[in-house]
Amino acid sequence: MLKTYHVLSLFGFAAVAAALVGCSKEQAPAPPAAVEEEVSVSEVSPSDLTDAMAELSEADRAAALAQKVCPVSGETLGEMGAPIKVTVKGRDVFLCCPSCQEKLEADPDKYLAKLDAK
Protein backbone atom coordinates (compact mmCIF):
# COMPACT_ATOMS: atom_id res chain seq x y z
CA MET A 1 0.00 0.00 0.00
CA LEU A 2 2.78 2.41 0.90
CA LYS A 3 4.66 1.70 -2.32
CA THR A 4 1.52 2.39 -4.36
CA TYR A 5 1.15 5.73 -2.62
CA HIS A 6 4.73 6.68 -3.49
CA VAL A 7 4.30 5.72 -7.13
CA LEU A 8 1.07 7.71 -7.38
CA SER A 9 2.74 10.66 -5.69
CA LEU A 10 5.53 10.59 -8.26
CA PHE A 11 3.01 10.55 -11.11
CA GLY A 12 1.15 13.45 -9.52
CA PHE A 13 4.37 15.41 -9.13
CA ALA A 14 5.29 14.74 -12.76
CA ALA A 15 1.87 15.93 -13.94
CA VAL A 16 2.12 19.15 -11.92
CA ALA A 17 5.66 19.78 -13.15
CA ALA A 18 4.58 19.29 -16.77
CA ALA A 19 1.68 21.70 -16.31
CA LEU A 20 3.95 24.34 -14.77
CA VAL A 21 6.45 24.14 -17.60
CA GLY A 22 3.78 25.33 -20.02
CA CYS A 23 5.20 27.30 -22.90
CA SER A 24 8.51 27.93 -21.15
CA LYS A 25 10.16 25.14 -23.12
CA GLU A 26 11.72 26.33 -26.30
CA GLN A 27 10.54 24.72 -29.50
CA ALA A 28 12.54 24.34 -32.65
CA PRO A 29 11.49 26.91 -35.23
CA ALA A 30 9.10 25.57 -37.81
CA PRO A 31 9.32 26.53 -41.43
CA PRO A 32 6.81 29.25 -42.39
CA ALA A 33 4.53 26.77 -44.20
CA ALA A 34 4.31 24.60 -41.07
CA VAL A 35 3.51 27.63 -38.92
CA GLU A 36 0.68 28.58 -41.26
CA GLU A 37 -0.62 25.02 -41.04
CA GLU A 38 -0.50 25.06 -37.22
CA VAL A 39 -2.49 28.27 -37.18
CA SER A 40 -5.16 26.92 -39.51
CA VAL A 41 -5.73 23.72 -37.50
CA SER A 42 -5.70 25.40 -34.11
CA GLU A 43 -8.30 24.17 -31.66
CA VAL A 44 -8.99 27.72 -30.52
CA SER A 45 -12.24 29.02 -31.88
CA PRO A 46 -12.28 32.31 -33.81
CA SER A 47 -14.47 33.86 -31.10
CA ASP A 48 -11.85 33.05 -28.44
CA LEU A 49 -9.14 34.72 -30.49
CA THR A 50 -11.39 37.70 -31.07
CA ASP A 51 -12.05 38.00 -27.33
CA ALA A 52 -8.35 37.72 -26.48
CA MET A 53 -7.34 40.20 -29.17
CA ALA A 54 -10.18 42.54 -28.22
CA GLU A 55 -8.30 43.31 -25.00
CA LEU A 56 -5.60 45.05 -27.07
CA SER A 57 -5.79 48.54 -28.54
CA GLU A 58 -6.71 48.67 -32.22
CA ALA A 59 -3.09 49.36 -33.26
CA ASP A 60 -1.69 46.60 -31.03
CA ARG A 61 -4.35 44.15 -32.23
CA ALA A 62 -3.40 44.82 -35.85
CA ALA A 63 0.31 44.36 -35.04
CA ALA A 64 -0.30 41.13 -33.07
CA LEU A 65 -2.48 39.70 -35.84
CA ALA A 66 0.23 40.54 -38.37
CA GLN A 67 2.90 38.85 -36.21
CA LYS A 68 0.65 35.78 -35.68
CA VAL A 69 3.09 33.64 -33.64
CA CYS A 70 5.07 34.08 -30.41
CA PRO A 71 8.75 34.04 -31.45
CA VAL A 72 9.76 32.27 -28.23
CA SER A 73 7.26 29.41 -27.94
CA GLY A 74 5.88 29.19 -31.46
CA GLU A 75 2.32 29.40 -30.08
CA THR A 76 -0.35 31.27 -32.00
CA LEU A 77 -0.91 34.67 -30.41
CA GLY A 78 -4.25 34.86 -28.63
CA GLU A 79 -4.45 31.16 -27.70
CA MET A 80 -3.36 31.84 -24.13
CA GLY A 81 -5.27 35.08 -23.67
CA ALA A 82 -4.34 38.57 -24.76
CA PRO A 83 -0.81 38.74 -26.17
CA ILE A 84 1.77 40.60 -24.11
CA LYS A 85 3.55 43.53 -25.74
CA VAL A 86 7.25 43.86 -24.94
CA THR A 87 9.66 46.39 -26.42
CA VAL A 88 13.21 45.13 -27.04
CA LYS A 89 15.88 46.98 -28.97
CA GLY A 90 13.31 49.64 -29.84
CA ARG A 91 10.95 47.09 -31.39
CA ASP A 92 7.53 45.99 -30.18
CA VAL A 93 7.16 42.22 -29.96
CA PHE A 94 4.05 40.29 -28.93
CA LEU A 95 4.38 37.18 -26.77
CA CYS A 96 1.88 34.47 -25.93
CA CYS A 97 2.45 34.60 -22.16
CA PRO A 98 4.55 36.24 -19.43
CA SER A 99 6.95 33.28 -19.14
CA CYS A 100 8.32 34.01 -22.62
CA GLN A 101 9.39 37.54 -21.71
CA GLU A 102 12.51 36.50 -19.78
CA LYS A 103 13.85 34.47 -22.71
CA LEU A 104 13.15 37.28 -25.16
CA GLU A 105 14.96 39.82 -23.00
CA ALA A 106 17.90 37.43 -22.40
CA ASP A 107 18.54 36.88 -26.13
CA PRO A 108 16.58 39.45 -28.16
CA ASP A 109 18.66 39.01 -31.34
CA LYS A 110 17.75 35.32 -31.54
CA TYR A 111 14.00 35.95 -31.32
CA LEU A 112 13.96 39.11 -33.44
CA ALA A 113 15.73 37.08 -36.15
CA LYS A 114 12.87 34.56 -36.02
CA LEU A 115 10.39 37.36 -36.63
CA ASP A 116 12.48 38.80 -39.45
CA ALA A 117 12.76 35.39 -41.13
CA LYS A 118 9.04 35.36 -41.89
Q: Does residue 36 lie in a domain region?
A: yes
Asked whether the predicted pLDDT for residue 78 surpasses 60, the reply is yes
Number of domains making up the chain: 1
Q: Does residue 11 lie in a domain region?
A: no
3-state DSSP of the chain = CHHHHHHHHHHHHHHHHHHHHHHHCCCCCCCHHHHHHHHHCCCCCHHHHHHHHHCCCHHHHHHHHHHCECCCCCCECCCCCCCEEEEECCEEEEECCHHHHHHHHHCHHHHHHHHHCC
Q: Does residue 14 lie in a domain region?
A: no
Q: Does residue 9 lie in a domain region?
A: no
Query: In the prediction, which pLDDT does 13 show?
Result: 45
Query: In the prediction, which pLDDT does 3 show?
Result: 52
Instruction: Residue 75: give the domain boundaries.
Output: 23-116
For the entire predicted model, the pTM comes to 0.62
Decide which of 8 and 88 is more confident: 88
Mean pLDDT comparison of 9-23, 33-47, 81-95, highest-scoring range: 81-95
Q: Does residue 52 lie in a domain region?
A: yes
Q: Does residue 53 lie in a domain region?
A: yes
